[in-house]
Amino acid sequence: MKRILVPVDFSEESMNAINAAHSLAVDTDSDVLLLHIVEDPNIETMKVSGETHYDPMDNIYVKLLLDKTREKLEAIVNDPKMRDLTINYKIEIGNPFTSIAENIASHDASLIFMGSKGATGLQEVLVGSVADKTVRYATCPVIVVKGACEIKNVKDIVYATDLNEDHEQIMDDLKEMQSHFGAKLHVLKVFDSMWTTVPEVKKRADEFVN
Domain boundary among 152, 167, 200: 152
**pLDDT score for 39:** 76
User: Over 80: is that where the pLDDT of 128 sits?
Assistant: no
**Residues 74 and 112 grouped into a single domain:** yes
**pLDDT score for 61:** 77
Q: Look up residue 124 and give its amino acid.
A: E
User: Over 50: is that where the pLDDT of 127 sits?
Assistant: no
Could you tell me the end-to-end alpha-carbon distance of the chain, in angstroms, rounded to an integer? 24
- Mean pLDDT along residues 147-170: 82
**Cα distance between residue 186 and residue 31, in whole Å:** 28
Domain boundary among 128, 152, 176: 152
Of 72-81, 146-155, 160-169, the range with the lowest mean pLDDT is: 160-169
**Cα distance between residue 131 and residue 117, in whole Å:** 11
Domain count along the chain: 2
**Residues 95 and 114 grouped into a single domain:** yes
**Residues 101 and 26 grouped into a single domain:** yes
**pLDDT score for 57:** 55
- Mean pLDDT along residues 1-8: 88
| Each residue's pLDDT tens digit, 170-187 | 788 788 888 888 999 998
**Residues 127 and 179 grouped into a single domain:** no
- Asked if 33 and 88 touch (Cβ cutoff 8 Å), the reply is yes
**Residues 131 and 180 grouped into a single domain:** no
How much of the chain is helix, strand and coil, in % rounded to 5? Answer: 45, 20, 35
**Residues 171 and 68 grouped into a single domain:** no
User: Over 90: is that where the pLDDT of 59 sits?
Assistant: no
How sure is the predictor about 126, in pLDDT bands with cuts at 50, 70 and 90? Answer: very low
**pLDDT score for 38:** 85
Comparing CA positions, the residue from 133, 146, 182, 129 lying closest to residue 16 is 146
**Residues 95 and 173 grouped into a single domain:** no
**Residues 71 and 167 grouped into a single domain:** no
**Cα distance between residue 97 and residue 112, in whole Å:** 13
**Residues 61 and 160 grouped into a single domain:** no
Domain boundary among 152, 176, 199: 152
**Residues 135 and 170 grouped into a single domain:** no
| Each residue's pLDDT tens digit, 72-115 | 999 999 999 999 999 999 998 888 888 888 888 888 888 899 88
Burial class (CB in 10 A: 0-12, 13-18, 19+), 92: middle
CATH at residue 26: 3.40.50.620
**pLDDT score for 116:** 78
- Mean pLDDT along residues 157-167: 82
Most confidently modeled of 8-12, 18-22, 157-161?
Answer: 18-22
Note the pTM of the prediction, 2 decimals: 0.76
For residues 126 and 132, the model is more confident at 132
Q: Look up residue 190 and give its amino acid.
A: V
**Residues 164 and 74 grouped into a single domain:** no
User: Over 50: is that where the pLDDT of 119 sits?
Assistant: no
**Residues 185 and 105 grouped into a single domain:** no
3-state secondary structure of 166: coil
Residue-range definition of the domain harbouring residue 75: 3-152
